[in-house]
Amino acid sequence: MSSSTVARAMRLLAELGEGERTLEQLAAVLDVHKTTVLRLLRPMEDERIVQRDAAHRYRLGPQLFALAGLALEQRGIRSVAAPHLRELNAATGQTVHLAAYEGGEVVYIDKYDSRHPVRMYSRIGLRAGLHCAAVSKVLLADLPVTVRQQLADKIEFTPFTVNTLTTPEALLAELDTVAAQGWAQDHAEHESFINCVAAPVRDVTGRVVAAVSLSVPDILLPYEQVLALLPQLRATAAAVSADCGLATH
């Protein structure tokens, strides 16, 4: 048993998500009398969940923004992403990272370990190398160009491997590529035997709020096959973005 009245109210919200509607349009969608719709809408209007303009057309209201903001604060990107990361981890069997840019650094927020017994020393809360980690490239690529340049000048370009980018120019060029293609790689730039790919998570405003990555030792999969995981990775990142409120249609 569940409340059909509330179910109708939810259907109204979904319908209003498509665009502004008049009372009678909504009544037609629910296949009920317009009186009914009016009385369903009234409490929602009181709470500013829906609004009506001068022409009595209904639309979604500002209280929805407020609620969504509260919900995100409560849960954080981490818990929103968690089920999707778990799924990606299960599907690929590889190490999955979630990272965010916070005050000049890139921090790992969450991690799901590979099923294979290959140790990785990353840990939640640790900082990722700004010039080598795939997640860093994704996150930096969304920053304004001026900020990128300032950051690039401050970075210490520790040459972890022969592939590590060692100059601000090389990094900035790479970031342009990443911004254009919508994903990033780390081709043995931090560890000579590990390749990574990363994709951005965006919120409603379109801003990149986090990055998801797959890290794979080349004894498990050669570089080319890591790139073959890109579709799955990007699908995961898109799913997390969707749960953050990014419209998918």
Element of type H or E holding 182 = none
Please give the residues from 223 up to 242 whose contact with a copy of itself meets the rule CB under 8 A.
242
Q: Which stretch binds a copy of itself (CB under 8 A): 64-72, 150-158, 186-194, 213-221?
A: 64-72
Nearest approach, Cβ of residue 178 and a copy of itself (Å)? 19
In 55-202, where does DSSP find H-type helix? 63-92, 134-141, 145-154, 168-181
| # of chain residues touching a copy of itself (CB under 8 A) | 73
Please give the residues from 141 up to 170 whose contact with a copy of itself meets the rule CB under 8 A.
144, 146-147
Q: Is residue 220 classed exposed, middle or buried when 0-12, 13-18 and 19+ CB atoms within 10 A define those classes?
A: middle
List 28, 32, 66, 228, residue binding a copy of itself (CB under 8 A)? 66
Positions touching DNA (CB under 7 A) are 1-5, 8, 22-24, 32-36, 38-40, 54-57
Nearest approach, Cβ of residue 221 and a copy of itself (Å)? 20
**Is the Cβ of residue 2 or residue 231 nearer to a copy of itself in the bound state?**
2
- Cβ proximity of 152 and 222 under 8 Å: no
List 124, 173, 219, 228, residue binding a copy of itself (CB under 8 A)? 124
Q: Is 32 in the site for a copy of itself (CB under 8 A)?
A: no
Q: Is residue 135 classed exposed, middle or buried when 0-12, 13-18 and 19+ CB atoms within 10 A define those classes?
A: buried
Total residues found in the chain within this entry:
249
In the numeric block, which tokens belong to residue 86? 């778990």
Q: Is 61 in the site for a copy of itself (CB under 8 A)?
A: yes
List 28, 90, 173, 219, residue binding a copy of itself (CB under 8 A)? 90
> How far apart, in Å, do the first and last CA atoms of the chain sit?
32
